[in-house]
Amino acid sequence: MSSDWLTRYNGSRRNSNARKNNKIPRKEKIIPQNLELHPPSDRILKQTSNSSAVQLHHLDVSQFMGLPYSVIAEICWWLHPKDLLSLARASLRTRCFFMSRQSKPCWDVARSTIGMPEWFGVATPHVVSFLFDTFCQEQGCSNLSSMRSFMVCRSLCDHCASVKLFSKEDAGIRWRDIPWRLLKKLPWTHQRKQQAFRVIRFDRFYGAADHPGISPLTNSLENGKFCYFDDILRLERLCKALGDVHGDAGNALFAELKSRQLEMHRASFGLWQWNNAQEASKSNNTKRTFNYVAEGIKRRWGYDINRYIEVPLFRNLLETLELLERPYPERTWTMIEVQMKQVIREREMANTRSPQKAVRIANYQ
């Protein structure tokens, strides 16, 4: 009993002496694992001594839109179309810019970057921004989307169409295990986008004598009967599982594929109707806005806006006013007065720089 007490006493004494000499570290605080760690706020970071290198910077949309147009366009050329769509939804000012005609080059460059062709020749920003969310099934188009897409050909971009669409003759050669009578029953589309090179010869009238020829990449349509790659794989798996597809299994598969193709046709026709309605409503809104603004400007300041139709700044002003509700408040008319002074100044400067343009504008009037 005494020996046990002496052993414990000596052990505790050795531990206390070692702790005094810093040989044994003290126990660290135990932090509960279920606590959530939150990043420090800006106020806490500014109070720290080394906060200059780690301060949080937030994107200010007003500062971004305050940049010159050339800088904004150059930045937007490197963005994904969905990023452009997010910027268009950030504020009213960004929406006026990205839905206007002056942002069309940004949308065109972004569209050609991912290989998306023009749909029915339409490239206006409000239509293109809608197509970016619902166009290609292979590049991020969700199956839960309300408009799951168009026909088989229209639901794929150029790159995916060249990989995912096969003609029935090529499919019959590549998948020999699938009977031809079953392969013919698959739904098909009659056109496929393909990329080709077209040679353009420049005339010396355009000042391009040093470059006699060029071969730009252009899009063209290939006619035929093209099947979807995933449909062929499903039919191949079913043939391997059942040997030869007969009866209810094959009928159920073909009925499902036919119903999906019919749904895409309906969606395509619905989008075509929506596009026509949007174009008609936009045209009517543009006419009503033009007449309302022309009457108000002539009544207030005596300007004839028909003289300034060709000025780009005036066209941008009209596109901005189309998004506002009528009648306009006095604050809006004050903004219009300031903008009209800049339009008049820009037209005078353009006339002094280019007398030919002044003659052309006079003839247009």
Domain extents in the chain: 61-150, 158-245, 275-364
Q: How far is CA 220 from CA 118, 123, 127, 196, 198, in A?
A: 11, 17, 21, 7, 10
Greater confidence, 150 or 120?
A: 120
Structure tokens at 52: 């200059």
What pLDDT is recorded for position 36? 33
> Which is nearest to 186 in space by CA: 225, 217, 224?
225
Q: For residues 217 and 77, which has the higher predicted lDDT (pLDDT)?
A: 77
Over residues 291-312, the pLDDT tens digits come to: 999 999 999 999 888 888 888 8
Cα 256 to its chain centre, rounded Å, is: 31
Q: 339 φ, ψ to 5°?
A: -65, -35
* Residue found under tokens 């001594």: 49
- At 320 the three-state DSSP class reads helix
pLDDT at position 322 is 84
pLDDT tens, position by position, 182-238: 888 887 777 676 644 443 333 333 333 333 333 344 456 677 888 888 888 888 888
In this prediction, residue 9 carries a pLDDT of 47
Q: Compute the mean pLDDT over every residue in the chain, rounded to the nearest whole number.
A: 65
Q: How far apart are CA 189 and CA 191, in angstroms?
A: 6
